[in-house]
Amino acid sequence: MPILERCDTKAVARLTLNVPEKLNPLSDEMLAALQSELDTLAEDRSIRAVVIAGAGKAFCAGHDLKQMTAGRAAEDGGKAYFADLFARCATMMQTIQRLPQPVIAEVQGIATAAGCQLVATCDMAVAAEGTRFGVNGVNIGLFCSTPMVALSRNIPRKQAFEMLTTGQFISAERAAELGLVNKVVPADQLSAETTALAELVASKLSAAVKIGKEAFYRQLEMGLAEAYAFTGEMMVENMMYRDTEEGIQAFLEKRSPDWDQ
> Does pLDDT of 139 surpass 80?
yes
From 178, 169, 181, select the one nearest 122 (Cα to Cα): 181
* 40 to 45, 152, 236, 257: CA distances (angstroms): 10, 29, 29, 29
> Does pLDDT of 243 surpass 70?
yes
For residues 32 and 6, what is the distance between their CA atoms, to the nearest angstrom?
Answer: 14
- Domains and their CATH numbers in the chain: 4-202 (3.90.226.10), 206-252 (1.10.12.10)
Average pLDDT score over residue span 159-177: 98
The 49-54 sheet, strands edge to edge: 4-9, 12-17, 49-54, 103-107, 124-128, 183-185
> Does pLDDT of 261 surpass 70?
no
pLDDT digits 0-9 by tens, 63-103? 999 999 998 888 888 899 999 999 999 999 999 999 999 99
For residues 243 and 134, what is the distance between their CA atoms, to the nearest angstrom?
Answer: 43
pLDDT digits 0-9 by tens, 44-74? 999 999 999 999 999 999 999 999 999 888 8
Average pLDDT score over residue span 145-169: 97
From 3, 84, 4, select the one nearest 38 (Cα to Cα): 4
Decide: residue 42, CB within 10 A, 0-12 exposed, 13-18 middle, 19+ buried.
middle
For residues 162 and 151, what is the distance between their CA atoms, to the nearest angstrom?
Answer: 12
> Does pLDDT of 181 surpass 80?
yes
Query: Three-state secondary structure along 72-139?
Result: CCCCCCCHHHHHHHHHHHHHHHHHHHHCCCCEEEEECCEEECHHHHHHHHCCEEEEECCCEEECCHHH
Which pLDDT value is given to residue 194? 98
124-128 and 183-185 strand pairing? parallel
Helix 224-239 vs helix 206-220: crossing angle, to nearest 10: 170
Which pLDDT value is given to residue 73? 81
Which pLDDT value is given to residue 11? 96
Sign of CA dihedral 23, 185, 127, 172: negative
Decide: residue 78, CB within 10 A, 0-12 exposed, 13-18 middle, 19+ buried.
middle
Average pLDDT score over residue span 158-166: 98
Average pLDDT score over residue span 145-161: 97
Average pLDDT score over residue span 156-175: 98
> Does pLDDT of 175 surpass 80?
yes
**Spatial contact of 201 and 193, defined as CB atoms under 8 Å apart:** no
For the chain, give the mean pLDDT: 95
